[in-house]
Amino acid sequence: MNRQKKKSTNGFRWERKHLLGIAELSTEELALLLDQAENFREVMDRPIPKVPALRGKTIVNLFCEPSTRTRTSFELAAKRLSADTLSIATSSSSFIKGESLKDTARNIEAMQIDMLIIRHSTPGAPKFLSECIKASVVNAGDGSHEHPTQALLDVFTIRRKLKKIVGLNVSIVGDIAHSRVAKSNIFALKKLGAEVTVCGPKTMMPSGIESLGVKVTYDLKEALKGADAVNVLRIQAERQNQTFFPGIREYARMFGITKEKLNKYAKKEILLLHPGPINRGVELSQDAADGEFSVILDQVTNGVAVRMAVLFLLSGIK
């Protein structure tokens, strides 16, 4: 890979140092990221799925919240680019000894790293770090704020399958209020010209969501009707000590997606996405999760390519 590749066909150049969210990206930046991911997706199918692009760069995964998929995906993406990687999980870190996030990050940086990928339970933590350290910061999910690489891989997966984003109808179903995935998806899809509908219990619909240009419905039928893709969010068990809905049974009945509902209300070729991990039988039934509509495992594969693109582009400016 050479620097030329960082330029898109229309001559647009990547200049951003951190990836903190989708909200701040331009349409050109999004397009360039997706095109770059396409190149890497192709690399992944080669007999030796590895390029030397980031040889000598050091990338640290700082995960202050549990994650398997995202952390593994970033780590693999970095390795496929020949970077040196290191993962730190909260349980083994110094946080329990009372060190602040700022001090932890500055200490890691003092070991001369190039990039820090952070997953944190509090919104704005990646932005805070980007102001504390000189290395590039990648947001791997911050509280209910954003999860930019998840949105990129979702959009990438839809674009690969349906060959476009402009004009598509995409529905997002579930706990919209606490979902960084929903937020980043809304920003990305709207910027790329899709129509977005959000659906879930009213108790899980954040105030002012309409101002982001989405349609709101509390009726799953409405969300499925005419949708080209539906992104189903995980219902987080840890929130159930607070009352957002009466119970799992009613949630599954009203908002859970089953093969039967898809057959009844949705287009025949609808795509079914889920950021994982799935609560089978809650937001997705077994037959829907593993059925012909599901692109859930494609999302995981594409996630590596998308994250390769992110790491590669961000490394460009120092």
Partner 1 sequence: MKILIKNGKVIDPAQKIFKQMDILVDNGKIEKVEKNISARSVEIIDAEGKLVTPGFIDMHTHLREPGDENKETVESGLRAAIKGGFTTVCAMPNTKPACDNAQQARYLFERAREIGTASVLPIGAMTKDRKGKEMSEMGDLKDAGVLAVSDDGDSVQDALLMRRVLEYASMLDLLAISHCEDKSLSEGGVMNEGKWSTVLGLLPIPGASESIIVDRDIRLSEIAGARIHIAHVSTRESVEIIRRAKKKGIHVTCEATPHHMTLTDESLGSYDTNLKVNPPLRSDDDVAAIKKGLKDGTIDVIATDHAPHLISEKEKEFDYAPFGMIGLETALALAAEALVEGGHLDWPGLIEKLTSNPAGILKISSGTLAPGSVADITVIDPEKEWVYEENKIVSLSRNSPFKMRKMKAMVTDVIAGGKIVLRDGELVEK
What is the binding site for partner 1 (CB under 8 A)? 23, 100-102, 120-125, 127-128, 132, 142-146, 177, 180, 183, 206-209, 211-212
Q: Which is nearer to partner 1, 92 or 211 (CB)?
A: 211
Tokens of 108: 């890691």
Smallest gap from Cβ 106 to partner 1, in A, equals 11
- Distance separating alpha carbons of residues 30 and 235, to the nearest angstrom: 28
Q: Which is nearer to partner 1, 127 or 159 (CB)?
A: 127
Q: Which is nearer to partner 1, 9 or 207 (CB)?
A: 207
- Beta strand segments in 229-315, E: 229-232, 271-273
Cα atoms in the 13 Å half-sphere on the side-chain side of 198: 30
Beta strand pairing call for 169-173 and 115-120: unpaired
Q: Which is nearer to partner 1, 104 or 315 (CB)?
A: 104
Q: Which is nearer to partner 1, 130 or 299 (CB)?
A: 130
- A 10 A CB-CB count for 147 gives 27
Q: Which is nearer to partner 1, 63 or 312 (CB)?
A: 63
Q: Which is nearer to partner 1, 181 or 289 (CB)?
A: 181
296-314 and 69-80 helices cross at what angle (nearest 10)? 50
- Distance separating alpha carbons of residues 274 and 28, to the nearest angstrom: 26
Place of tokens 């659906």: 199
Smallest gap from Cβ 8 to partner 1, in A, equals 27
Smallest gap from Cβ 186 to partner 1, in A, equals 10
Smallest gap from Cβ 298 to partner 1, in A, equals 27
Smallest gap from Cβ 137 to partner 1, in A, equals 13
Smallest gap from Cβ 85 to partner 1, in A, equals 24
For residue 239, which amino acid is it? R
Beta strand pairing call for 58-63 and 84-89: parallel
148-162 and 69-80 helices cross at what angle (nearest 10)? 70
Rounded to whole angstroms, what are the CA distances from 252 to 69, 179, 205? 24, 18, 17
Smallest gap from Cβ 102 to partner 1, in A, equals 6
- Distance separating alpha carbons of residues 95 and 98, to the nearest angstrom: 5
